Amino acid sequence: MSVPQPSSPFAPSGASPSGPLPSGEALLSAAHGAEALLGDRVAAAGIELARPPSFGIDDEMRARSGQLIRATIDATELALRTAEPMLNDGPTGELGERFIAAGLLSRSGIAAAALLRAEEHRLAAALVRGAGEIEGPGAQRLDPIGGEFAAESFAVRAAEAARIERTGDPLLPLHDVPAEDRHALFWQVAACLADRALAQGGEEAVVHRAAGAAVSRALAAIDDGEGIAPAAMRLAHRVDGARQLDDALLAGTLAAGRVASLAGMLAVRVGIPFDDARAMLTDAARFAVLLRACEVERGIAAAMVLALALALDRGFGADPADHAATLVEGYNALTVERARAEVRRARLEPHYRDALAALTGR
């Protein structure tokens, strides 16, 4: 049995070759292929079903992540085609399947970035549903029209708008992809375009030069300052400078479902990077530790932890309200100094930090 490979998140289920089979040998070949696929699916199912539910990716996240991956690959292809005419040949929007089949997805960070964006989108929607129509306390201070922080708030809203399709589905703009992952993605998509050019008879040296030039130009055209992270951090620093980065504002921002803005505020308040603060919003326990490190008043922290636990609930495991109550019980027992020491591990170099965690069994 062959080793199971991750299936494409783009392929519709039950897809099969279309068109007449020209011979009996072709029919046998198709049957053999189906037999091999069945074996791979059974092996993959054994791996997938053996995972604890907390490790799994549900159908909604799988579908949204697949859409985001495809859209990001398509946007990268368009940027490279625009940057280098030699690569602007052939049909567009068809590299996704080739990208997956060649195993490039597992060699890049685009899948992780897409999953993070899909989960953030779901979290934001769940927080808004949980809060109802009443605006959270303090949120009115972030009014992008006429508020004290209007300019910075408007920039965040603009960055948020660039991350949502007109249909309401999430998008992953290229400037929101981590720089290292974006660099790898552009070179991988350039390789797909170059491979097609070479197959059409392009001269190897010329094609490789064109691919390199396309990557350099396309990457240079991306302004990292337009991303959601810098916009959220500018807003947080502005609010902090006005001495208004208080607990009520944190609670109101959470209730409004503005996950990126909240991550920026918590990052500034405790002194850690944006990405690390945002990662701590994906789990109620880590979120509680972060709030403790920020010295959020216990009553407000309890309400925020409960809101996040309910929004993150996926229908299995402990009741989210009971889980939140357990976390709140330990909130005061955890000293601010201990919480800050834990949270500020995020300042350490990532490889060093991960190795320390592995060595201590965490």
User: In this prediction, what percent of the chain has a pLDDT beyond 90?
Assistant: 59
Question: Could you tell me if 281 and 262 are in contact, meaning their C-beta atoms sit under 8 angstroms apart?
Answer: yes
Residue 322: burial class (beta carbons within 10 Å; 0-12, 13-18, 19+): exposed
C-alpha to C-alpha distance for 28 and 21, rounded to whole angstroms = 10
Domain coordinates in residue numbering, the chain: 283-362
Instruction: Calculate the dihedral angle through the C-alpha atoms of 127, 128, 133, 139, rounding to the nearest 10 degrees.
Output: 80
| Nearest by Cα to 61 from 360, 358, 352, 314 | 314
Instruction: Flag the least confident range among 30-34, 252-256, 337-341.
Output: 30-34
- Crossing angle of helices 284-293 and 320-329, in 10° steps, is 30
Chain CA centroid to CA 278, Å: 10
Q: What is the pLDDT of residue 132?
A: 65
Average pLDDT, the chain: 86
Assigned token pair, 37: 């696929």
Give the C-alpha separation, 110 to 178, whole Å.
9
Res 305: pLDDT: 95
What is the structure's pLDDT at 2? 40
Closest CA relative to residue 123, chosen from 307, 343, 328? 307
In which band, very low, low, confident or very high, does the pLDDT at 14 lie, cut at 50, 70 and 90? very low
d(CA 342, CA 260): 21
Q: Report the candidate in 263, 346, 271, 268 with the shortest Cα–Cα distance to residue 308.
A: 263
Confidence of residue 53 (pLDDT cuts 50, 70, 90): low
Amino acid letter, residue 34:
A
Confidence of residue 293 (pLDDT cuts 50, 70, 90): very high
Give the predicted TM-score (pTM) of the model.
0.80
9, pLDDT greater than 50: no
7 pLDDT exceeds 50? no
In percent, the amount of the chain with pLDDT more than 70 equals 87
What per-residue confidence (pLDDT) applies to 285? Answer: 93
Residue owning tokens 């029919």: 27
Residue 96 confidence (pLDDT) above 70: yes
Placement of tokens 């709030």 in the chain:
291
Q: Model confidence over 105-135: pLDDT tens digits?
A: 888 889 999 999 999 999 999 998 887 655 5
Contacts of 86 (CB under 8 A, 6+ apart): 197, 202, 206, 207, 210
Whole-angstrom CA distances from 140 to 150, 237, 248, 262, 306 are 11, 18, 11, 14, 22
pLDDT digits (tens, 9 = 90+) for 98-107: 898 888 988 8
pLDDT, mean of residues 222-231? 92
More confident residue, 13 or 46: 46
Residue the block writes with tokens 């037999």 = 35
Q: 5 versus 115: which is more confidently predicted?
A: 115
Q: Tell me: pLDDT of 322 over 70.
A: yes
C-alpha distances in Å from residue 349, one per residue of 113, 129, 227: 20, 37, 23
At residue 47 the predicted structure's pLDDT band, cuts being 50, 70 and 90, is low
Asked whether 311 and 123 are in contact (CB, 8 A), the reply is yes
- Residue linked to tokens 């039950």: 14
- Please write the tens of the pLDDT for every residue from 246-290: 999 999 999 999 999 999 999 999 999 999 999 999 999 999 999
Specify the higher pLDDT residue, 115 or 145: 115
Count CA within 13 A, CB hemisphere, residue 351: 0
Q: How far apart are CA 126 and CA 122, in angstroms?
A: 6
- Range 2-12 average pLDDT: 44
Q: Which two tokens stand for residue 302?
A: 């309890």
